Chains A and B, each alone.
Chain A
Amino acid sequence: QVQLQQSGAELAKPGTSVKLSCKASGYTFTSYYIYWVKQRPGQGLEWIGYIYPGNGGTYYSEKFKGKATFTADTSSSTAYMLLGSLTPEDSAYYFCARGAAGAYWGQGTLVTVSS
Chain B
Amino acid sequence: DIVMTQAPLSVSVTPGESASISCRSSKSLLHSNGITYVYWYLQKPGKSPQLLIYRMSNLASGVPDRFSGSGSETDFTLKISRVEAEDVGIYYCGQLLENPFTFGSGTKLEIK
Contact = CB atoms under 8 A, between A and B. Distances in A.
Nearest to B102: A47
A47 B100 contact: yes
Nearest to A106: B48
Nearest to A64: B100
Contacts of B103: 44-47
Interface residues of A, number: 21
Contacts of B104: 44
Given A44-B92, A45-B92, A102 B51 contact: yes
B33 interface: no
Contacts of B106: 44-45
A45 B48 CA distance: 11
B51 A101 contact: yes
Interface in B14-46: 39, 41, 43
A61 B99 contact: yes
Interface of B: 39, 41, 43, 48-51, 54, 60-61, 92, 94, 96, 99-106
B100 A102 contact: no
Interface in A39-94: 44-47, 49, 59, 61-63
Nearest to B101: A47
A59 B94 CA distance: 18
A108 B50 CA distance: 12
A84 to B, nearest CB: 19
Contact of B101 (A44, A62, A100, A103): A100
Nearest to A4: B48
